[in-house]
Amino acid sequence: MQVTMESTDVKLDIDGVPCRLWNGVTPGGVTCLVMVHRIGVHALDDDSEFSELEPRPGKLTCVDYELLRAVLETAESDDAVMRGFDQQVITDLREILQR
């Protein structure tokens, strides 16, 4: 599944978790709302595109390994979810978690 998202200034709390509201649209034109809790940028990538977000996304570091492991385990446990991931991303996650 693909969704193109645009950040808003709206911050809300979903079940005790602070989130930012984003407007989304699918390639077929279906609009949706997306509640984003966290964005992680690979430590070697330029994060300047996220400069308008407060707080800025963190660089993925060793403290985020549990989050990465949970994302990978979730993706691997559901074929439909797994198909939605770029396979290079999955390969990169596996490599990071083996370090």
CB under 8 A, 24+ apart: contacts of 7-16 = 7/52, 7/53
pLDDT of amino acid 59 = 60
Range of the structural domain that residue 17 is part of: 1-37
User: Model-level pTM greater than 0.95?
Assistant: no
Q: Are residues 64 and 77 in the same domain?
A: yes
pLDDT of amino acid 27 = 94
Q: What is the mean pLDDT of residues 77-87?
A: 70
Q: Are residues 99 and 70 in the same domain?
A: yes
Query: Exposure of 64 by Cβ count < 10 A (0-12 exposed, 13-18 middle, 19+ buried)?
Result: middle
The structural domain count of the chain equals 2
